[in-house]
Amino acid sequence: MNCKGPDSVNSCDSRASLSDDSGEAMYRLIGELYPICRSITGQGIRETFGRIQQHIPLTITEVPSGTQVFDWLVPLEWNIRDAYVADRQGVRIIDFKQSNLHVVSYSVPVAARVSLADLKAHLFTLPDHPEWIPYRTSYYKQTWGFCLSHRQYLELQDEEYDVVIDSSLEKGHLAYGEYYLPGETEEEVLISCHACHPSLCNDNLSGIAVATFLAKSLQACPRRYSYRFLFLPVTIGAITWLALNQRHVSNIKHGFVLTGVGDEGGFTYKKSRVGTAGIDAAFAHVLRHSGDPFEITEFIPYGYDERQYGSPGFNLPVGCFMRRANGAYPEYHTSADNLDFVKPQSLSRSLEIVRSVVGVLESNRGYVNTSPYCEPQLGKRGLYRSIGGNVTGRSAEMALLWVLNQSDGMHTLLEIAERSGLPFVTIKLAADELESQGLLRRAG
């Protein structure tokens, strides 16, 4: 197997691993994970990690409830076995077993008969989308609640209901999964995704799937960088990991959060807090040359775990890669973010983009022209002969000239690609050719 992405210049060819059915394979993984009731702690997230382990050897870390992680405490572990609201005839009119979105995540146990009025104080709906069930959580305030379609809500009769939530909120552990792929250096690329949402496909089973398959495809590739894949409960998971790994984060040279990459929308890359990091330049370049619609947005301290990686004490160069941004589509955090909402081909293309970005990171460096006074004679080295009259040929010739001209040790290949307007892969191929001819050496 080898690893060169379609638009990338990584040193192994991806066609083996990135076959046309990678989209289908990622979609199947999402299908397996979809029914599981995940939360920020509990068996759901552990079961999820178990499924991922069938693809990549995740290491699971269990952190006890009550552990101080910076300003936070690791919370109690939440587990749920059953939950329902039943009418006077004993019919379960809202049933956790039909959709785990029906229960507000982290609901405390309850078993009571309540009036409709009292019940309504614990119900959540989406009046604008009357068929959809919202996704709600209450991690840090002990309460209980049910989510249901607004249509069903309107049909509720004014009678008494039996409410049962068979959950537990007890001392236990917060679990996260980690996969570290060592490279030539300890400098690392961090890929982080949250794994705590229940039956929601785009947010974030899509991120989990693409991260898993990216990891898989990098296993057999030579790697200049080490790669660290994190599967975490959002916010508290990233905070916990950062707290336990504070001394190692200086190794992180590039990183991105992966989420919402399965829908059919255009791409969104949200820049790191730094804003001018290598990862920001790499995503911007790859997206600009992708032919796909995309948007580059500025960092804001709201969204996913880039908030934590980009807190001022860390200020890590970690962006966030999505298709439609969080909150920018109505299906977000509702039962409509289901298996129909994500598409194999969207997953596949998202994977191609991140592989191209990894290709840029891997290959990007500065070179020094060893023949810097005037242009070297390309013709006598056979480099000019390869240049035909067609556009490809002209790009290749221009790439040779650009690399020679700009390789003064002060410009990276990515910068040369940007200045020339040529794709990184064209510039990298030119650099390889010039290096093999001794006309270029790597900058100190």
Contacts to a copy of itself by CB under 8 A: 69-72, 140-141, 235, 238-239, 242-243, 246, 273, 300-302, 307-308, 310-315, 369, 371-377, 379-380, 398, 401-402, 404-408, 420
Would residue 296 be called left, alpha or beta, if left means φ above 0 and alpha means ψ between -120 and 50 degrees?
Answer: beta
CB of 440 to a copy of itself, least distance (A): 11
Q: Which is nearer to a copy of itself, 270 or 323 (CB)?
A: 270
The DSSP string of 196-236 is --SS-IIIIIIHHHHHHHHHHHHTTS--SSEEEEEEE-TTH
Nearest residue to 83 via CA among 2, 164, 202: 164
CB of 373 to a copy of itself, least distance (A): 4
Say which residue the tokens 């495809």 belong to: 217
CA distance 45 to 64: 15
CA distance 58 to 51: 10
Q: Which is nearer to a copy of itself, 266 or 372 (CB)?
A: 372
CA dist list (Å): 390 to 67, 380, 387: 64, 21, 8
CB of 411 to a copy of itself, least distance (A): 9
CB of 118 to a copy of itself, least distance (A): 22
Q: Which is nearer to a copy of itself, 164 or 243 (CB)?
A: 243
In degrees, rounded to 5, the angle at the alpha carbon of residue 284 between the alpha carbons of residues 289 and 351 is 70
Q: Which is nearer to a copy of itself, 279 or 316 (CB)?
A: 316
CB of 16 to a copy of itself, least distance (A): 37
Q: Which is nearer to a copy of itself, 2 or 315 (CB)?
A: 315
- Per DSSP, the three-state class of 260 is coil
Q: Which is nearer to a copy of itself, 35 or 301 (CB)?
A: 301
Q: Which is nearer to a copy of itself, 291 or 373 (CB)?
A: 373
CB of 385 to a copy of itself, least distance (A): 9
CB of 75 to a copy of itself, least distance (A): 11
CA dist list (Å): 300 to 283, 306, 319: 17, 9, 10
Helix (H) or strand (E) holding 355: helix 344-363
Tokens of 169: 């909120």
CA dist list (Å): 345 to 18, 193, 204, 342, 434: 12, 20, 17, 9, 37
- CB distance 136 to 90 below 8 Å: no
Q: Which is nearer to a copy of itself, 61 or 371 (CB)?
A: 371
CB of 328 to a copy of itself, least distance (A): 15
